[in-house]
Structure formats: C-alpha cells, structure tokens
Amino acid sequence: MGKARKDSRGRALRKGEVQRASDGRYMFTYTDPLCRRKFIYANTLAELREKERKLFKDQLDGLNLYAAGKSTVNDAFDRYISTKYNLRETTKSNYTYIYDHFVRDTFGRKKLADIKYSDVLQFYLHLIQTEGLAVSTLDSVHGLLHPTFDMAVRDDIIRKNPSDGVMKELKKDEGKNKGVRHALSVEQQRAFMDFIANHPVYFHWWPLFTVLLGTGCRIGEALGLRWEDLDFNLRIISVNHSVVYYPVGKDRKTVMRISKPKTEAGIRSIPMLDMVYDAFMMEKEAQKENGGNISEIDGMTDFVFCNRFGMVPNPQSVNNAIKRIAHSYNKEEALKAEKDKREPILLPDFSCHHLRHTFCTRLCENETNLKVIQSIMGHRNIETTMDVYAEATDRKKKETFENLSKLDIF
C-alpha cells in the first residue's frame, strides 16, 4: 500500500483532499454530473469536511429527488448528458448550448413527472410560433428532450415518454421537403458569383465561395483545407478534418479546434472542377503577396483560406459576408431591373450551408447514381441524398412541362 498523505499537522487526508503548500488552505477535488472537474476550498480541514458532507448530501438528495420522480426536466437532462461519455467535446458543448438556450429557463423548470404529451406539443408550438424557430432547429431541441425522457422511462421514473409522436404531429401537414434548405436557382447562383467577381470590395471572397459552390463542402471542411490536402496533378480534394468553433466554460468563450468531419462518411475525396482549381490558384497567388496563413490549430498549419489578418476565418464571418453581399446585390439589381423594365433576379436570405445544398442540387440535376452523390456529399444516410434528389427532379419535371406547354403538339 502507498504511504498515506497527511497535512502539515500530521492528519491523514482522504481521497481528493489536498493541503496547498502556497498558503496552507485545504482543497477537495471532485467531478460533477456533467463530468466537469470542480473544487471546494476551506481554511481548515474541519471546514473542508463539512463542505464535503454537504456536497455529498446535496448529490444524494438530487438522486433521491430523481428516484422519487420529483426532479425537474433540467435535472433529468443533466443526468442524461452526464452519461454521454463518448461524445466529442464539440458535440457535447453544442448539445448543452442548445438546451440552455431554448429549454433550461422555461420548460426545463417543470417537474418531470408532471409533463404530458400536450405540454411538450404546446412548448414546441411556442418555440415555432412565438420564438420563430425553424423546424430543423426544433428537431435539435427534440433530439435532446426525447432521449432524456426515454432515460427516465427506463429508470422507471415516468411510465411513458411524453414527447413520443410530437414531431410527427407538427410535421404531418408540412409536406415532405418542408424545412429543407432550398438551393439557389442557376440564375441566382450565377448572379451571386458574377457580382462578387466584379465588385471592387467583395472580389476577394470569390475563391472561397467558388470552392463552396464547386465542392459541396461544409463550411468547416472548406476552412480546414490545407494545401497538402489538394492534389493538383490528380485534381483531387481530400476532406479528412474540419475546423470547428464552439463555446466552452461558464463564459461560453468561443475557441477554434480541429475535428473529424461531421460523420465518418464525411471523410472522402472530391474531384476538383476546373473552376475550383482556378480558385485555389488565385488564393495561392494572393497569399504569396499577403504573407500567407499564419494560423496554427491543434498542431495543423498551412491552411488554404485566411482573412486579412492571416488567420483562418470564423464561419460566422463568412455567413455575415454573404448577408452583406446579398444585400448590396439586391439593392443594385432592383435599381437596374427598374431601369431596364424587367423583373429583378433577387437573392434570398441564405447561408454557407445553402451553398452546399446548391451544389448537391446541381449534382442531382446532372447525375442519377444516388450512391455517387452520397459519396461526394459525405451524407451518412442515403435518405438525405434522396430528399435533395427528389426536390431537384421535381424542379426539373416542372421546367420540362413548362417548356412542353410552349410547344404546338396538339
């Protein structure tokens, strides 16, 4: 057996207890239900152990409340998320953020045992109608509450999961592709890129947006590309990691990290189109003039894209740029259309992910092999690919019938 640790007065210290050499204060280290390392401090050993006793009692009371069905939805969620030991740090942080932002201070305060199906339905309707949540965001909220209630059912705290069937009820009248990010039309896509290419302020965004529209990469995958990931001889782009930004700590400070792609299917090779090749060459020339990318993230360097400070851009700054560009374009286009007496080609409110969806749509319009499309896009489920394919082919079918109506075939 190892030698027992003692304090300065010769008293044996228990597991987790430490007396600091710097000031003689006592400290107890423990892990909370969210697997976060916490500390308790005291001036005396007796005071520390009283705090330990109170901590253990509080934890036991929390367990007893849960077992007695008196805990809140918040208590149940915290218990659920603490069991997800194999989650990536980024995923766990995002889950916690979503829950804290939409649930914790409202619905989360309700007693777990009192929640009924109609309570969940009303809460979801409130999020959609009052808070303006998109169905896709509500899916993320439901993806946290449903397994939380499931765990409570398995623990015999509640008899039935009150969230069963709620999302089906909300979606039943919304149509098959409701909530899907819609692609830009070919005219909108060309207008967006032509405006950037010829604009004196926004032209430096052309390489990045060309790569996004010409590869279907997620924004984190595109920003994470390094020059060594590009094979210019074989014209192949290797997607094997992603740059992620996520909040950590109590102050929710955002940090930049390298992560694997969203799913294992995300590790893939993408053919490099000629226009994409030109975009990379343009970016390389620009970096030769401006000093290149100086970022180092988790040991990785030599990233393809950088901002004016020589750092990897924040995805939010790219989305903000899209909004500024679209606003400027729409303003100019409306004036030109009025002058030319024609209907303007206006850009909708869209984000980086819409550019990924746009690429996928163009791919579906020109390729019938769903497995090839799935592989290029890095979709984990073929259903995701099929949804985009169905939307793309529906549009093509409509165009075909519109053209047919102009023919004199009767």
Contact 27, 39 (CB under 8 A): yes
What are residue 242's DSSP bridge partners?
259
pLDDT of 34: 47
Residues 177-219: tens digit of each pLDDT: 444 457 899 999 999 999 999 999 999 999 999 999 999 999 9
Reported confidence tier of residue 247, pLDDT bands at 50, 70, 90: low
Model pLDDT, residue 213: 95
pLDDT, tens digit, for every residue of 278-316? 999 999 998 888 888 889 998 999 999 999 888 999 988
Spatial separation of the C-alpha atoms in residues 336 and 9, rounded to whole Å: 85
Q: What is the rounded average pLDDT for all residues in the chain? A: 85
Judge contact between 357 and 182, C-beta under 8 A: yes
CATH among 3.20.20.70, 3.10.20.310, 1.10.443.10, 3.40.920.10 for 186-401: 1.10.443.10
Strands (E) located in 116-241: 230-231, 236-239
Beta-sheet pairing, 230-231 with 253-259: unpaired
Percent of the chain with pLDDT over 90: 47
What's the rounded mean pLDDT across residues 374-396? 78
Query: Tens digit of pLDDT for each residue in 68-91?
Result: 556 889 988 988 898 887 777 777
Q: Which fold has domain 73-171?
A: DNA polymerase; domain 1 (1.10.150)
**Which pTM does this prediction carry?**
0.63
Residue 160 has pLDDT above 50, yes or no: yes
Q: Assess contact for 26 and 18: CB atoms under 8 A.
A: yes
pLDDT at 405: 56
From CA 368, how far away is CA 116, in angstroms rounded? 46
Structure tokens at 31: 């892990």
Q: Contact 347/326 with Cβ under 8 angstroms?
A: yes
Judging by beta carbons within 10 Å of its beta carbon (0-12, 13-18, 19+), is residue 110 exposed, middle or buried? middle
Q: What is the per-residue pLDDT for 178? A: 47
Q: Is the predicted pLDDT of residue 171 greater than 80, yes or no?
A: no
Q: Give me the DSSP letters along 354-406.
A: HHHHHHHHHHHHH---HHHHHHHHT-SSHHHHHHHHHHHHHHHHHHHHHHHHT
Q: What is the pLDDT of residues 133-147, one digit of tens each?
A: 888 789 889 999 999
Two structure tokens written together for 279: 């975009």
Per residue, the 3-state secondary structure of 269-311, as one string, reads EEECCHHHHHHHHHHHHHHHHHCCCCCCECCECCECCCCCCCC
**In this structure, are residues 73 and 55 in contact, taking their beta carbons and an 8 Å threshold?**
no
User: With contact defined as beta carbons under 8 Å apart, do 259 and 244 qualify?
Assistant: yes
- Tell me if domain 73-171 and domain 186-401 are identical in fold: no
* pLDDT at 20 exceeding the cut of 50: yes
pLDDT attached to residue 46: 92
Phi, psi angle pair for 299, to nearest 5°: 85, -10
Q: Does residue 63 surpass a pLDDT of 60? A: no
Q: Which tokens sit at 265?
A: 């299917």
Domain ranges of the chain: 17-67, 73-171, 186-401
